[in-house]
Amino acid sequence: MNQSVVNVNQNNISPKITNPRWERWKAFYKQMKKNKMAMVGGYIILFYILVALFGPLFAPHDPLEIDLLNKLQPPSIEHWMGTDDKGRDVLSRVIYGSQLSLTVGVVSVLIGAFFGIMLGLISGYYGKWIDTVIMRIIDILLAFPGLLLALAIVSALGPSLINVMLAVGIFSIPTFARIVRGSTLATKKLEYIDAIRALGASDAKIIFVHILPNILSPIIVQGTLRLATAILTAAGLSFLGMGAQPPSPEWGAMLSSGRNFLWNAPHMATFPGLAIAIIVMGLNLFGDGLRDALDPRMKK
């Protein structure tokens, strides 16, 4: 009797092995799918990434090739987005410009996130006079409007795309620092942190192994939203002549060139402007969806 029961159990019961990490990803994706606008934003971002990676392989023309005989041509079969004042194909320049704009945005956010996370972790974990000094420096940076601070930095360093990345990265530091500091203050008071400290763990291990992984959600959300701000700010600096320099096919610089031909060749400014507006919209939509999916308070 007992033997038959054992056989039945062995034949009919098979333990289900699940991967906790995979289950978390599935739950995250289901939560994101509920937000249709966030999915739209994700598809927009994916499209721009694919264009930046593979678009130059299919660009119809050289973005720097000058053809004065065909300058200011309206959109046509040969030039889908028309040509600019020097006869260069606008579509090809927009495609190549996606590489520059996304690179500037990602590098700027990485710079701001790295230093902001370090300052926020140190300030929130150690507190006391260290927290006071760091937060006063952060308050000074926050006292200046972001674009104005970036403009001042680029003016001091000189106009170039690298200096734009540094400037946008610097003015992104305070936002990350304040978010990380607040999350660190809340996390370090939890009981498991006290237990780990009682076991003799070093401050570095507590900060980077036990605190940082548990506060990544707000950092990821802020990084996505900050990427939109970085792209927009970089385009604004290039529009003012402080960023990418001609003949670089950067969207802000293209807008600056096209503003002089709004009446007789509006396509010169329209298509780069749409490229900026759509990617910024996509990043904001996706960032809002990430916030809703990663915030436990938004889950039922």
The residues with which 83 forms a beta bridge, in sequence order, are 89
Per-residue model confidence as pLDDT tens digits over 140-179: 888 887 778 888 888 888 888 888 999 999 989 999 999 9
144: Cβ contacts below 8 Å, ≥ 6 apart:
152, 171
| DSSP bridge partners of 89 | 83
Predicted local confidence at residue 30, as pLDDT: 75
Q: Which helix (H) or strand (E) holds 130?
A: helix 128-142
SS3 content of the chain, % helix, strand, coil (to 5): 75, 0, 25
**Structure pTM?**
0.84
Per-residue pLDDT reduced to its tens digit, 178-223: 999 999 998 888 888 888 888 888 888 888 988 898 888 889 889 9
Domains, the chain, ranges and CATH? Answer: 32-298 (1.10.3720.10)
How far out from the chain centre does Cα 281 lie? 12
CA angle 187, 31, 19 (to 5 degrees): 75
